[in-house]
Amino acid sequence: MEPDESAEVLRDLDEEHSESILAQMSPAMAKQLRRLVEFDETHAGGIMTTHLLIVKESDLVSDALKLLVEHRERDISDGVTVVDSKGKLLDHIQIIELIAAKSSEKLETLVKAPFPTAVSIDTPLEDVIEEFSNNRGSSVIVIDEKGKPVGRILADDIIDAMVPAESSGLAQGTGALS
């Protein structure tokens, strides 16, 4: 289960039950989920997943491919998020671009337009949806106040947020916009 989905479940539980579940997790995972639960579901931080693969622009293509292989069990690994030496977002490079490049190339040679759409943690959901629809990518990168990537909002998370919680059927979302 993705961190954003786990946080959504924890939000629906009473605090005692939620804490008993968090106590059974690794300290790192519990800390990550506690942070996600704090975000308002009507803002970007409240629907983002923290699963993203971050690499530096100075890393080699082979390093990025190795990271993707190491995390292949994650459904969201469609590429890597590239940051500069200060950790600021530069680009999101798709797997196909990495495969087509020479393994000895530095990632900085692949950084180019179109650049990923990025929103801040506190961007209202309506604005996230607008950015996503203008972007036509598979996700929106969420950045902190310093421009560093902290998560991603995938297309299915945006759709879930738009579907009212009282809907029945297979696609039942948070309905954060209703």
- At residue 140, the pLDDT reads 92
- Whether 121 and 62 map to the same domain: the answer is yes
Distance CA 127, CA 142 (A): 12
- At residue 26, the pLDDT reads 84
- At residue 127, the pLDDT reads 93
**Structural domain contains residue 44:** no
- Whether 123 and 99 map to the same domain: the answer is yes
- Whether 85 and 153 map to the same domain: the answer is yes
CATH number of the CATH domain containing 91: 3.10.580.10
- Whether 98 and 23 map to the same domain: the answer is no
Whole-prediction pTM? 0.77
**Structural domain contains residue 134:** yes
Q: Which residues pair with 124 in a beta bridge?
A: 43
**Structural domain contains residue 25:** yes
**Structural domain contains residue 174:** no
- Whether 23 and 83 map to the same domain: the answer is no
User: If DSSP codes are grouped into helix, strand and coil, which group holds residue 28?
Assistant: helix
- At residue 36, the pLDDT reads 73
- Whether 108 and 150 map to the same domain: the answer is yes
49: burial class by Cβ within 10 Å (0-12, 13-18, 19+)? buried
- Whether 90 and 128 map to the same domain: the answer is yes
**Structural domain contains residue 64:** yes
Which pair of tokens denotes residue 117? Answer: 């759409």
**Structural domain contains residue 47:** no
**Structural domain contains residue 138:** yes
Distance CA 60, CA 55 (A): 9
Cβ atoms of residues 78 and 138 within 8 Å: yes
Chunk the chain into consecutive blocks of 10 residues (it has 178) and report each block's average pLDDT, rounded to whole numbers: 71 77 80 75 87 94 94 75 97 94 97 91 92 82 96 85 58 51
- Whether 110 and 148 map to the same domain: the answer is yes
User: If DSSP codes are grouped into helix, strand and coil, which group holds residue 75?
Assistant: coil
Query: Per the structure, how many domains does the chain have?
Result: 2
- Strands 89-94 and 54-56: what pairing? unpaired
What range defines the domain where residue 20 resides? 3-38
Cβ atoms of residues 119 and 90 within 8 Å: no
**Structural domain contains residue 92:** yes
Block residue for tokens 């421009």: 147
Which pair of tokens denotes residue 176? Answer: 């954060």
- At residue 174, the pLDDT reads 52
